[in-house]
Amino acid sequence: MKLLRLKITDENRFKSLNKDFEIKFQNGFNDYEPSDFYPYVLAGQNGSGKSNVLEALAEIFYHLDCIYVRYKPENFDQSYENPDGFNPSISRINEYELEYYTYLDNDAFPNEDKTKKAHISITKIKDNRPVIKWENEDEFRENTQLSQQQAKSLLPKYVVGYASGNNETLSFPFIKSRFLQFDEYLSTLLSKEFVSPTAETSLVYLDEVYSQAILLTNLLMLDNINEDEENNLLDPFKENVGVQDIDKFRLIIRTDIRINPPKNFNSSEDEKDMYLIQNLDLKIPKQRTNLTSYIEKLKSCATTWYTDYDQEYYEVFQSNNANYLYLDFKVNKATKEAFQFHFDKDPLKLFELFQLLMLQDAYKVSTERKKKIYTTQNVFLNQDINFIPEEEERILRFKDFKIKKKGIDKTIYTKELSDGEHQLLHTLGLCLLYKEQRCLFLFDEPETHFNPDWKAKFITNIRNCFKEIAPKCEMLITTHSPFVISDSSTQNVFKFRKDDNPINPEFNTFGASVNQITMEVFERVDTIGDYSNSEIEKYLGKLNVNNVDYLIKEINLKFGDSIEKTIIINKLKGFIK
């Protein structure tokens, strides 16, 4: 998708975004070369509203998801018995206008041209359902009413959120969406369907909890195992962080968690207890031998595997109820070939399996608690629900994940990487996983822990993730980094100011100096810190006709080079007033 504009028309505003706040993006898909992918950069001082734009888009698409997904939990929708349930006519942003371009989904529109761009507008009037309109439908076909499946397919397939600073307000709709995904999976347990790990909902919030899954998937699925093929996708991992390869890792999957079927479910005696992950370990009928259960796929890729009671936790907790599947992987070329074969050379298929297994930890949250989560307006939702259970109660654990790193003779654990290294691998890994999808990336200050060199390279590294493909995705990045702005054209940069609409900077940002960007975008005139600036200015008060040379000598010894230092020396010499 490619955004055109977002306007908040809600008289109650949304966070710091006033009524009639509007951000206008460039005119949809530009005629870029395939490698010319540029994210939008939202910059400005703290509290100016840039993160609120990401939150607004996440809220809008969560509300639309809740309208158009086919499966919803029991008692999810508003009713007489459930007055606080979901109401399609009311959302946290109760009035808005949104426009974007997207490509058509093949399943929903099998006969329409997939190379042309569909112009979509979504309008929500106060206390009314949002209306999705296909503005240029007549360029594809005769105007007809959209089915629910078609309307859902005109939304982004994925809305991927990431915040380096644990932005609880951004995660708010994403956390709710996680429970929708979990309840969707539980519904398939009743029918014993062979399910795809891909969720029906679109929102995916991938915080640091998913870092190991992201790194592991990329290193297994994107490594060039065919020496005759050129593949440089992992170069940023190798050149910046020095990650060369995986040495080994272990997956531990808990297999004994039982889920009771609903009271109104007519089950036989042997179905009264359902194992939580049984749909990922279904025995596929012989006539469908082209399919293999997802647990079997992992076993087929493993160096060795076994099941046993966890003796370590048995000794600690004096319980023999916990049962685990252990899968050990000593990684070589054959290991990667096996993963790439069993997961169709599609990294997202493997990652979504990890994601679904990790999502099963929601079994610890009661039905009543989930009901409150769906209806709450408490933006600090993640803190309140204790979403991640104790280690021994988790469904999937990554253990002994060791990598080979350049310049280090022995292998190291991934947890030994620095915060900045984790953050770079995380953000670039997300881009590589979702780069070919109809996806909206919402990245809130993704470069916070980077050193200046990595900040200067960040846009280049992002663009390299999308090289040689025609991106179907859009990316919004909030930042305080002048380097990120300097690698972005003016039309892709938005300067935010409190209580005002964002504007493109009034100067050419591409290739502009850090000093100019700091002054023009962040309104910081001084190029040095306040303390050193105040100390250097004190020398003006010490001036008399006999000590000019002494003061200048002392200044040169005490302070590093800066514009401020040069100005003070010239004032002492009388060259400027």
pLDDT 10s digits, 540-559: 888 887 889 999 999 999 99
**Amino acid identity of 124?**
K
| Confidence label for 166 from pLDDT (cuts 50, 70 and 90) | low
pLDDT 10s digits, 485-537: 999 999 999 999 988 899 999 999 999 999 999 999 998 888 889 999 999 99
- List the Cα angle 213/472/344 in 5-degree steps: 45
pLDDT 10s digits, 104-115: 999 999 999 988
Give the separation between CA 1 and CA 100, rounded to whole angstroms.
7
Query: What DSSP designation does 279 have?
Result: G
**What's the confidence (pLDDT) of residue 153?**
95
| Confidence label for 381 from pLDDT (cuts 50, 70 and 90) | low
**Alpha helix ranges (H) inside 521-562:** 530-537, 548-558
**What's the confidence (pLDDT) of residue 318?**
39
- Kindly list the distances between the CA atom of residue 341 and the CA atoms of 65, 150, 334, 471, in Å, as whole numbers in the listed order: 33, 32, 10, 25
| Confidence label for 289 from pLDDT (cuts 50, 70 and 90) | very low
SS3 letters for 441-506? EEEECCCCCCCHHHHHHHHHHHHHHCCCCCCCCEEEEEECCHHHHHCCCHHHEEEECCCCCCECCC
Give the separation between CA 428 and CA 454, rounded to whole angstroms.
12
pLDDT 10s digits, 302-330: 999 998 754 544 444 434 467 899 999 99
DSSP string, 58-107: HHHHHHHHHHH-S---TT-B--SS-TTSB-TT--SS-SEEEEEEEPPPTT
Give the separation between CA 196 and CA 105, rounded to whole angstroms.
18
Residues in the chain: 577
Answer whether 0.75 is exceeded by the pTM.
Answer: yes
Q: How many helices (H) and strands (E) does the chain have?
A: 18, 18
Tell me the β-bridge partners of 412. Answer: 403
Give the separation between CA 67 and CA 394, rounded to whole angstroms.
31
Judged on CB neighbours under 10 Å (0-12, 13-18, 19+), 575 is: exposed
| Confidence label for 225 from pLDDT (cuts 50, 70 and 90) | low
Average of per-residue pLDDT across 468-494 = 92
Domain boundaries, the chain: 2-520, 530-572
**What's the confidence (pLDDT) of residue 427?**
95
Question: 373: part of which helix (H) or strand (E)?
Answer: helix 367-375
Residue 320's φ and ψ, nearest 5 degrees, are: -110, 20
Say yes or no to pLDDT of 343 above 70: yes
Say yes or no to pLDDT of 290 above 60: no
Q: Of the ranges 39-43, 71-75, 374-378, which one carries the lowest mean pLDDT score?
A: 374-378
Question: 5: part of which helix (H) or strand (E)?
Answer: strand 2-8
Query: What DSSP designation does 260 have?
Result: P
Give the separation between CA 335 and CA 213, rounded to whole angstroms.
16
